[in-house]
Amino acid sequence: MPPERWLADEMLGRLAGYLRFVGCDTAYVRGQADGEIARRAAEEGRFLLTRDRGLAGRVPESLWIRSHEIGAQWGELMVRFPDLPHAVRFARCTRCNGGVRPVTDPPGGRWPDDAPVDRIAAGLAVYRCEACGHLYWAGTHSADVQRRLDRWSGDVRP
Ligand SMILES: [Zn+2]
């Protein structure tokens, strides 16, 4: 089974974003020393993803990501965790890793200007990050993300 909690180092921000898209609790660290990163992974029970081979060697629950390219990085994750989910779910905020929950009423009484209000009125689900307030709904962006995840995961849908 893939880990429930992850920690991505600063070279892996995009990979962290895609893990959040599939609902994985993924913290992202920037500008911290190796020792701090290793300690946080241990304290929070997070599986470390890093492009630093030396750091990976110091942390038992870790994976050294070799590739620079996001699709290949996802492939490396799939090799290690074949059961890694790859369906987009609105469960973690891709911006801040906060928990994301469905909302029925517009925060502040009004949906943002870019919200598809007609589709929301027709029943399209809207989700809100409990930490930063960012709103999510299924649309062209999430469909593009899903297509990429399918391609990287070798599960191309018709
Ligand atoms: Zn957020």
Mean pLDDT of all residues belonging to the chain? 95
Note whether 7 and 48 are within 8 A (CB): yes
- Shared domain for 123 and 56, answered yes or no, is no
CA of 37 to the centre of ligand 1 (A): 22
For tokens 């609105």, name the residue: 90
- Shared domain for 124 and 145, answered yes or no, is no
CA of 16 to the centre of ligand 1 (A): 13
Q: Average pLDDT of 79-89?
A: 94
- Shared domain for 3 and 81, answered yes or no, is yes
- Shared domain for 72 and 131, answered yes or no, is no
CA of 135 to the centre of ligand 1 (A): 9
- Shared domain for 46 and 31, answered yes or no, is yes
- Shared domain for 15 and 54, answered yes or no, is yes
Domain that holds residue 101: 96-136
Q: Determine the Cα angle at 140 with ends 136 and 146, to 5°.
A: 85
- Shared domain for 1 and 46, answered yes or no, is yes
Q: Average pLDDT of 139-157?
A: 89
CA of 56 to the centre of ligand 1 (A): 28
Among 97, 77, 93, which Cα is nearest to 85's? 77
CA distance 155 to 158: 10
- Shared domain for 109 and 151, answered yes or no, is no
Domains of the chain: total:
2
Residue 148: both structure tokens together: 């990429």
- Shared domain for 37 and 74, answered yes or no, is yes
- Shared domain for 31 and 45, answered yes or no, is yes
For residue 1, name the pLDDT band (cuts at 50, 70, 90).
Answer: confident
For residue 158, name the pLDDT band (cuts at 50, 70, 90).
Answer: very low
- Shared domain for 111 and 157, answered yes or no, is no
